[in-house]
Amino acid sequence: MTAPVATVTALADGEWHRLHPASPLLRGGLVFIAVLGFVLANMRERLVDMFVIVFVPDTADELDGRYGEWQNDWANDPVGAIITNGQFGWALLAVAVVIIGVIIGFWLSWRMHTFRITRESVEVRSGILFRSHRSARLDRVQGVNINRPVFARLFGTAKLDVSVAGESGNVQLAYLGSALADGLRADILRLASGARAEKSRASAPAAPSVPDAAGAPLAGPAQGDAVGPPPASARVSAVVGRRVDEFLAPELDPNLAPPESVVHLSVARVVGSTLLGGTTISILVFVAIIVAGVAAGQEWVILSFIPAVIGLVGYLWSRITKSLRYSIAGTPDGVRIGHGLLSTANQTIPPGRVHAVEATQWILWRPFGWWSVRVNLAGQSVSASSEAQQRTIVLPVGKADDVRRVLTLLLPDAVPTLDALLGAGLTGRGEAGGFSTTPRRAAWLRPFSWRRIGWAASGGVVLFRRGALTRSLAVMPLARMQSVALGRGPVRRMLRLASVRVHTLAGPVTVELPVADADEAAVLFENLAADAVVWAGADESHHWGAVREQVTEVVS
Amino acid sequence: MPERPEAAAVPEAGEEPTEAPDAPADAAPAASPAPEHPNSEHPTREHPTPEHSTSEHPVPIDEDWRRVSPKYVVVEVVGSLIGTVIFVAAFLVAYFWFDWWWALWAAAAIGVVSLVGIAFEPRRVRSIGYRLRADDLLFRRGIMYQRQVAVPYGRMQLVDVTRGPVARALGLADLKFVTAAAATAVTVPGLPLDDAERLRDELVALAETRRAGL
């Protein structure tokens, strides 16, 4: 994709289209292949013998001698029994029937699995016997995710996931041609943005109207090999070359985003931060126990911890590989976050879909100045699956400057406020830097962090900072606030304190001020309640494209 | 135990409030918004028509906190008593059948604590209050652990009327507000049924005119 903004696939035209032909294989067929491979591997010798008998009948006597006693023992040796009883043809027929049945099943499931993208929604129909029809309204799209598991990458395909608000409300297009998925993502977001695609579609060359999404209908120079009918060998090598190129290509297309808006992670930092994460403590505990056990002459202790160590190493490995090749970038369609070494995934969050952001730094990361950033998003953070949890991590680890750039991307409207307040918010304490202070009596409740607890609000965002062991700065756009609560328990009332909590969608971020002076908290509560209404009324981000049209044109 | 929930999802709200709201003098009851869109085909209108704009809101603004019905004390007391009786009976059975001497003390302790709690029940019910303001609904409750919540009208996704058996016998109903955030958790209990239904219709209409995405 050389011109990401102008690229419009021919698929977003309101007609029904089919997915990549390899989809059924990738979705469920790999299991079938694995079973087949297992069977073949186990019966390799017998199958070789079988063919020897069929094609070289002279050796049958010798083989009969070898397997003679098993001739009628079906349970022990079905292949031998088939051969010696002369039912080879029937067996071949049965295998053929099974294979043909599976192929027909795949073909039907591919035929019946169709999708269409209209001006209003993305719809998917699937199922052979039990039909299902899902549709996602475009103005409710909370993000578009593209996943490329290793096997799908080998086939040059990708899985497109349109997430909408609500639990398990996602619409999946699995699988599409890899380049096609990128184009379709841009189309869906453009349609959702309220900006119409006619302009860019008219400027793009007339796309070949191929009914299947097999990878061809991407307008532009991406498939030069589809022009003429080259010889088969050249075509194969071209396909292989393209796969290799795709595999080795950088995770983020350099044309997609201006380089100054891109945040990358270095491998050393990813590994280091993971090793200094919470699991370090458990590793140290393990080592201590093992050393103590060996010292006490109880060598069996080592053995009992082997499973735990294996699990731990696996966890660390998966964390590191998921964070490798990480990038976050501002694209015209929203913030794009990509990561993964072998299986890659990226998600695009349109503007105005971020409900709360939190930067945290736990104590072992403090010497290095590392932070991680998480977000609350509608629709994704509700489910407890590890994939959804992964999506809420916007920045696995980064310096304060990376945090600033990520926040700038996520909350573009709040840039002046963030520039002024971020430094004090991340590491500051006390009154310096524009944050409120907490009275000394709060030390009864928060002995370590009371100096750090404070809030600041301006320009439509509210910042709550807290935490001494794990520093935290929560940033919340007031236009996304659902409600606000003021809490006063018995101890807090005795100390003339109160807590303020801003309610947002369920997610990893809790926007809360645990202690504040009671009178100040009451004022803050009133201000937040009033400001939230004003900012929500002024918010236009559900049709962000109407505003951003000029920006898009400039970038293109 | 809430049964027979009469949920009124905000988008489907098309019906006019059945009664004119008994509003204070500064609000005009006749100007209550009646959006003429009872269809559910386009359940979310992002842009309200100008006559529903927020500038002249037909909200019956409350000058002071509104209390819930004093009869709600009965609902709470009955609920507490049932729980107390079950526990005390269980411990008494343990005492008389198995001769566990401590069960008698446990029964007595539970009984005393429950009675003290019940004695505070009127005060606790008096602490529940709600207030319609220009742009949001304010709710408070609690005497030991006080909690005060402000819910902007535009954020209400659902307004739910539920009635338990005791509340139904007394002609009361609970009004539950649902936003996109689970933590909001605002339920105004013990409203007279007519009030609850009128308030629900009013708030649903308000939420429709103030609606602003997620």
Chain B positions in Cβ-Cβ contact with residue A541 (cut-off 8 Å):
213
pTM for the whole thing? 0.73
What number is the average pLDDT over the span A341-368? Answer: 87
The whole-angstrom separation of Cα A139 and Cα B213 is 9
Same domain, A319 and A406: no
**A280 vs A4, residue with greater confidence:** A280
Are A529 and B186 in contact (CB < 8 Å)? no
Closest-CA residue to B67 (of B195, B208, B160): B195
Whether residue A243 lies inside any domain: the answer is no
The pLDDT of residue A525 is 95
Domain-located, residue A150: no
ipTM of the predicted structure? 0.71
pLDDT recorded at residue A279: 73
* CA–CA distances in Å: residue A299 to residues A285, A293, A294, A304, A469: 17, 6, 5, 10, 37
Do A384 and A457 lie in a common domain? yes
Could you tell me if A364 and A499 lie in one domain?
yes
Residue A507 pLDDT > 60, yes or no?
yes
Question: Between chains, do A485 and B136 touch, taking CB under 8 Å as contact?
Answer: no
pLDDT in tens, A297-335: 877 777 777 787 788 888 888 778 878 888 888 887 788
* A276 falls within a domain: yes
Give the full edge-to-edge strand order of the sheet including A470-477: A393-398, A371-377, A354-362, A470-477, A461-466, A454-458
pLDDT category of residue A44 using cuts at 50, 70 and 90: confident
Which of A490, A493, A532 faces B152 most closely, judged by CB atoms? A532
Task: Say if A154 falls within a structural domain.
Answer: no
Residue A294 and residue A360 in one domain: no
Identify whether residues A367 and A287 lie together within a single domain: no
**């909350």: which residue's tokens?**
A411
Among A75, A110, A145, which residue terminates a domain? A110
Number of domains, chain A: 3
Q: Does B148 touch chain A (CB under 8 A)?
A: yes
Same structural domain for residues A368 and A274? no
* Better-predicted residue by pLDDT, A276 or A379: A276
Question: B181 in contact with A at a CB cutoff of 8 Å?
Answer: yes
Residues A294 and A401 in one domain: no
What is the mean pLDDT of the segment spanning A202-222? 39
In chain B, where the domains are located: 1-13+129-214, 72-123
In this structure, are A420 and A523 located in the same domain? Answer: yes
Confidence at residue A211, expressed as pLDDT on a 0 to 100 scale:
39
Nearest CA of chain B to the CA of A519: how many Å? 14
A158: tokens are 């990708």
A307, A357: one domain: no
The Cα–Cα gap between A193 and A12 comes to 14
Range of the domain at A307: 266-323
Q: Is residue A23 part of a domain?
A: no
Q: Are residues A515 and A366 in the same domain?
A: yes
- Write out the E strands in B129-168: 129-132, 136-141, 146-152, 158-163
Q: Identify from A505, A533, A543 which residue to disrupt to test chain B contact, counting B C-beta atoms within 10 A and taking the largest count.
A: A533
Task: Quote the minimal CA–CA distance from A528 to chain B in Å.
Answer: 9
* pLDDT of residue A480 exceeding 80: yes
Partner-chain contact A503 B150, CB within 8 Å: no
Residue A422, domain member (yes or no): yes
Rg (CA), chain A: 30
Of A243, A111, A259, which is closest to residue A179 (Cα–Cα)?
A: A243
Examine the fold and report which residue of A94, A110, A126 is the final residue of a domain before the chain moves on: A110
Minimal C-alpha gap between A322 and chain B (Å): 30
Share of chain A above pLDDT 70, in %: 74
Rounded-to-integer distance, Cα A433 and Cα A144, Å: 37
Q: Which residues of B touch A482 (CB under 8 A)?
A: 151, 155, 179-181, 184
Contacts of B144 in chain A (CB under 8 A): 489-490
pLDDT of residue A389: 67
Phi, psi of A453 (to 5 degrees): -65, 130
Q: Is the pLDDT of residue A28 over 60?
A: yes
Is the residue at A477 inside a domain?
yes
> Which of A94-103, A163-172, A443-452 has the least mean pLDDT?
A163-172
- CA–CA min distance B201, chain A (Å): 20
Q: Which residues of B touch A165 (CB under 8 A)?
A: 180, 214
Mean of pLDDT values over A395-400: 89
> Cα angle at B179 between B177 and B181, to 5 degrees?
125
Contacts of B214 in chain A (CB under 8 A): 165, 355, 378, 480, 505
pLDDT score at A97: 93
Q: What is the pLDDT along chain B (214 residues), one digit of tens a residue?
A: 444 444 444 443 333 333 333 333 333 333 333 333 333 333 333 333 333 344 445 667 777 899 999 999 999 999 999 999 999 999 999 888 888 888 888 899 999 999 999 999 999 999 999 999 888 899 999 988 999 999 999 888 888 899 989 999 999 999 998 888 888 889 999 999 999 999 999 888 888 887 766 6
| Better-scored residue on pLDDT, A148 or A54 | A148
Q: In the predicted model, what is the mean pLDDT of chain A?
A: 77
Q: Please determine, for residue A554, whether its predicted confidence score (pLDDT) is greater than 60.
A: no
On whether both A431 and A509 belong to a single domain, the answer is yes
Q: Highest mean pLDDT: which of A139-148, A209-218, A424-433, A484-493? A: A484-493
B51 and B209 Cβ atoms separated by less than 8 Å: no
Same domain, A379 and A319: no
